[in-house]
Amino acid sequence: MSWINQLLKTYEAVSAQGAFEEAEHPLIPAGFIEKRAGIMVTLSKDGSFREAERLEKNKNDEVVIPTTPEAESRTSSRLPPFPLFDSLVYLAGDFCQDGDSRLFDYYLRELNEWAEQPDAPSALRIYRDYISQKTLIRDMLRFGLDINPDKDGKQIVCFRILMDDDDSERLWQRRDIRESWLKRSLARRGNFKLCYVEGKLSPILDSHPKLIGNGKLISSQDTGTIFQYKGRFTEPDDAVMVGYDASVKAHNTLLWLLSRQGYNRYGMQAVAWMTGGGRMDFPVKDGEQDDEFDNEAIVPQTFSEYGLKVRDMLSGRMRKLSGYDKKSLDEVNLIALEAATPGRISVIYYQELPGGEYVERLTKWYKDCSWGFTRFIGDKDNRKRWQGISTPTPYEIACVVFGKRQAETARGDMRSEKSSTKAIRELKLRLLHCMVDGAMLPEDIVSAAFHRVTAPLGFTDSNGKWQSYDWNLALSAYCALLHKRQTEKSKDEVIDVSLDTTNTDRSYLYGRLLAVMDAAERSALGKDNYRETNAFRYMQLFQQRPFDTMKKLHTLILPYYRKLGDMSEWYKWQIAKIMDLFNGEDYNSPLPLDGKYLQGYYCQRQALYAKKEDKPDSLTADNDMNNKEA
């Protein structure tokens, strides 16, 4: 119940600071619900019909109306109405299907009980008197509004009354109506028992509000099937009892947070928030890398520079959060929900922790899971190349683990039914545990990324054209994941993003050799030839049998050496220097290479293109082509 307690704290914090009056995303107070109205009817102050109009959907005409737990959880067999407004089948006394007026009678009986209270507002009684005439559909048709009872029966109908007072003409916005309903709803509550959330006697809810669609977070429905497992309890109250205030306030606050700053993709709805209501991004949201990280003015080139930048940025963001209660800015909460079935919603992730600890854990993730990246940032008309130390986004990790096509398919799966969608949802949750909980990065994620990057020819578009930018992005993302694993295991295993000319690791050295062979052939091909080099074509085989494949690459490079002429001597010299670093029989070993060979490849390639001194002039142009955006 910890998540309910945190939501209650947030409700109390933000309700005192004007969250109910927010223009774009108002918090719905307890005892009310937000509904989209389809028709609005205007009455004169004497209760006569004036006009009616359809409300366009794009105008976002949502009304906050009184509600009851029974109305919110109604089904086809239980039809309690909303107290003030409801759909046309409830409000129109002249709407009778096969002579059945039960819905209207039920609604009018409830409305009469409210309007007959001694302190009921006059506007409410004017509205009740009009509804009692049973002429709603006839009046709208006579006014000229095309009403089809069969098609419009489920449309929510709202009313406004042209009163002479200073209050709102819209009945649902009138202060006296809202105050009257709050007083009535308090008087109607019964069934006082111990609320497990608040720890006090409160009216206990048997049917809790729906959260998303028809899905509920708290439910105890007994279908009556003989095989239904009920555990050790015989009655719902034996398991847990949640009071009306606790349940409604928590649900309304969660809905407010989801609509205001929530993340909804891959069949998962999630939100991160500060107890005081401050806006926060969910850590594993989709999108491009944060502009605050990819700032052209400050481009980190070392891990230490990047770590300091991340810490400063995250700490500054926490300080700048536009929260309501600044005293609560040190509490961070994260929750992720999934619709397990059409009527049930499950909490698949929840965490709460102090804001300082949250910053420390995110800082550690961003610092440890980082590598050199080349990205094109900005909108389509103003794309700029950015190069420096960065962290792969969750979407970039999904692309390197499952492939870009699978990631794009899942991204476009609005119904969240495809297997790729479920796989990426699971990946996001596992990454969330690493980022927020400090869990170790799972080995299978790193392994899947390794095997995909080692097969560069698989990075093609729908027309079969090789996508160099996608592969280079995947290479950097994998190296970042591997760097994260290395920091978790031992500091001695960590490979730096800059070239280490003293590293004698066999895989690292073989990766360096592959980078030189690739650069030599690329220089010979020229900047106008975009085909893959032999080093790329044989990369997958090279990882499995490096010694045999290197002999073949030495043979294949000879024609390109002849084309390069004297420039080929510079490449041969680079290869010779790397060969001298192999220990004993490491070069001749038949063992496959591990992930360090990709780090060695990246570092050597970047070093080749870093400076122009004592290097062929073609290298700079080749680097631009390798990182060319598709």
User: Which of 267-281, 373-387, 408-422 is predicted least confidently?
Assistant: 373-387
Nearest to 174 by CA among 183, 185, 161: 161
Q: What is the pLDDT of residue 40?
A: 93
| Averaged pLDDT for residues 173-185 | 90
- Total residue count of the chain as it appears in this document: 630
Residue 192, pLDDT score: 86
Separation between Cα atoms, residue 113 and residue 124, nearest integer Å = 11
Model confidence at 216, pLDDT cuts 50, 70, 90, reads confident
Chain segment 77-95, per-residue pLDDT in tens: 568 899 999 999 999 988 7
| Of residues 414 and 238, more confidently modeled | 414
Confidence of residue 311 (pLDDT cuts 50, 70, 90): low
Whether 348 has a pLDDT exceeding 70, the answer reads: yes
Q: What are phi and psi of 204, to 5 degrees?
A: -90, 135
Residue owning tokens 């107070």: 29
First vs last C-alpha separation in the chain: 49
Encode pLDDT of 553-587 as tens digits. 999 999 999 999 989 999 999 999 999 999 989 99
Contact status, residue 418 vs residue 410, Cβ threshold 8 Å: yes
Position 406 scores a pLDDT of 93
Which of 142-146, 323-327, 404-408, 517-521 comes out lowest in average pLDDT? Answer: 323-327
Inform me whether the pLDDT recorded for 301 exceeds 60: yes
Say what the pLDDT of residue 622 is.
Answer: 54
pLDDT average, residue stretch 290-304: 55
The 3-state secondary structure of 237-256 reads HHHCCCEHHHHHHHHHHHHH
Residue ranges covered by each domain of the chain: 1-21+189-249, 31-187, 263-489, 498-626
**Tens of pLDDT along 219-231?**
876 555 555 556 6
Give per-residue pLDDT as tens, 450-500.
999 999 999 988 888 888 899 999 999 999 999 999 999 877 778 888 999
- Give the pLDDT mean for 273-277: 85
pLDDT score of 249 more than 80: yes
Q: What is the pLDDT of residue 628?
A: 56
> What would the pLDDT profile of 108-133 be if each residue is shown by its tens digit?
999 999 999 988 999 999 999 999 99
Backbone torsion region of residue 523, taken as left when φ is above 0, otherwise alpha when ψ lies between -120 and 50, otherwise beta: alpha
pLDDT of residue 326: 44
Q: Where are the beta strands (DSSP E) in 81-189?
A: 156-161
Percent of the chain scoring above 90 in pLDDT: 49
pLDDT at 428 over 90: yes
- From 273-287, 332-346, 468-482, the region with the lowest mean pLDDT: 273-287
Mean pLDDT of the chain: 85
* DSSP for 403-462, written as a single string: -HHHHHHHHT-TT--SHHHHHHHHHHHHHHHHHHS-PPPPHHHHHHHHHHHT-GGG-B-T
Q: What is the pLDDT of residues 24-65, one digit of tens each?
A: 788 898 889 988 899 999 999 999 999 999 987 755 568 899
Residues 107 and 74 sit within 8 Å (Cβ to Cβ): no
pLDDT of 217 above 60: yes
297 in Cβ contact with 249 (< 8 Å): no
Q: What is the pLDDT of residues 593-604, one digit of tens each?
A: 999 999 999 999
Task: Give the pLDDT score at 444.
Answer: 96
| Residue pointed to by tokens 């692309």 | 399
pLDDT of residue 293: 45
pLDDT at 576: 95
